[in-house]
Amino acid sequence: MEANAPKELVVAIDIGTTKVCAIAGHKNQYGKLEILGFGKVTSEGVLRGVVSNIEKTINAIRDAVEMAQRMAGQEFEIVHVGIAGQHIKSLQHRGLLVRDNDHLEISQVDIDRLIDDMHKLVLPPGDKILHVLPQEYTVDNEQGIMDPIGMSGIRLEANFHIITGQISASKNIDRCVNRAGLHVANMTLEPIASAAAVLSDEEKEAGVALVDIGGGTTDITIFQEGIIRHTAVIPFGGNVITRDIKDGCTIMTHQAEKLKKRFGAALADEVYDNRIITIPGLKGHAPKEISEKNLARIIQARVEEILDYVMWEISRSGYERKLIAGIVLTGGGALLNHIEKLAAYHTGMSTRVGIPVEHLAHGYSEHLSSPVFSTAVGLLLKGIHDVETGKVKVVQKETKKQEEDMVKLDQQDTKSNAWYEQLFKKTKEWFEAEPDSEF
């Protein structure tokens, strides 16, 4: 029963353009996620998925983590974070490993050697590899092998999907987390995290495009036969819709955001009531009026533009006709009314809205059953998987114990030093005393 003893909490932080979200939890004995604490605060220091103001981001991380700590009743030290932004690029590469002995079975060590070779790729200055994702393997010209472990062969080849990002972007995230008093265990590409939270294995097998519409970016991940085939980041999201409403209705940004959330619809044909919404004017100015249908027309135009970019990325990937499960929308942008209908009409593909509840244990907070939390829940799943597979060690308590041990050792050292000093002093006194006794 030791396996079911209270587990160490794993903590994930989603640093987004509109919100910073911290979430803490672990897996129960049934393999489901138990969320023990979460916190969500407005983000002001992130622009299009990239940190643009260090101080504001540090404060937001600190506030979100404090909320999660209060709810969980425990302090955190190590966190798993996400990375996004328009600097993210993906490329395909083929690796080859010639083995010494064809009698020995191919093991994880061989695959790790292939992956390590990919990390040696020469990249443009300022870029670093974030993920190396194996696609399929070839063993002695036998193609299309998904898992070569246990097979025999001399030539082991593999196709890899490699995701790169800017070193400066990841360093800024690191800096913000460290200055908030925490330590980054690892960084995961946010679209990969969202996919882990909202996509089913059947969808990944059949072929699906996950479209995560955030505030500053729209992230796309394409799966087919259970493998990530393509990733892309479009450098605009929900914030450009807000900006369009602000310009179209000549109102303040915060009013435009409220309009979008309260009355916004992505499909003008579905708005039947056509109510008139009154927006308070600035001091001394008359209030402004806008019809719900006109508001929907503004939103629809921009969402269609985002979907055009999505379709361009899908066709660029070469999997346009292979996505049997169609499109899954998630992120804050997926909260717009009728957005799945618009996406289905505009792209001709079946569409649903993905909510990150599939992996959650019963009794979760209703706040978490929102597409807004998809990335955070996915980062937590990825963090727990890394801890379970030993890639990341949870060392909160260990570190404290080690610190205490170090202090004890230091004290012992000072005691032994004092003893040596005393002995040296007495010997010195004895030698100095000798000549005196002779006189």
Q: What is the CATH number of the domain that holds 115?
A: 3.30.1490.110
Q: Are residues 225 and 303 in the same domain?
A: yes
Whether 294 is in a domain gets the answer yes
Percent of the chain with pLDDT over 70: 87
Domain contains 232: yes
Of 133, 165, 197, the residue that ends a domain is: 165
Q: Are residues 277 and 332 in the same domain?
A: yes
User: Do 156 and 227 belong together in one domain?
Assistant: no
Highest averaged pLDDT of the listed ranges 7-11, 98-102, 250-254: 250-254
Q: Assess whether 235 and 346 both reside in one domain.
A: yes
Distances (CA, A) of 112 to 132, 134, 190: 11, 11, 24
pLDDT average, residue stretch 244-272: 88
Nearest to 49 by CA among 24, 77, 14: 14
Which residue do the tokens 């913000």 mark? 176
Q: Which pLDDT belongs to residue 402?
A: 45
Q: Indicate if 225 and 336 belong to the same structural domain.
A: yes
For 262, the token pair is 């309260």
Would 239 be classed as within a structural domain? yes
Average pLDDT, integer, range 10-37 = 87
Cα–Cα dist 44/340, whole Å? 29
Half-sphere exposure of 353 (CA within 13 A, CB side): 19
Q: How many domains does the structure of the chain reveal?
A: 2
The answer to whether residues 223 and 351 belong to one domain is yes
Whether residue 237 lies inside any domain: the answer is yes
| Same domain, residue pair 239 and 292 | yes
134 and 232 in a single domain? The answer is no
Q: Comparing C-alpha atoms, which of 180, 234, 191, 224 is closest to residue 64?
A: 180
Domain final residue pick, 312, 333, 357: 357
pLDDT for the residue 17: 87
**Does residue 217 share a domain with residue 158?**
no
The CATH number linked to 328 is 3.30.420.40
Asked if residue 170 has pLDDT above 80, the reply is yes
How wide is the angle at C-alpha 220 spanned by C-alphas 216 and 224, nearest 5°? 170
pLDDT tens digit sequence for 43-87? 888 888 788 888 889 999 999 999 988 888 888 888 899 888 888
79 neighbors 12 (Cβ within 8 angstroms): yes
What is the domain extent for residue 343?
Answer: 207-357
Q: Of 322, 357, 392, at which residue does a domain stop? A: 357
| pLDDT of 413 above 70 | no
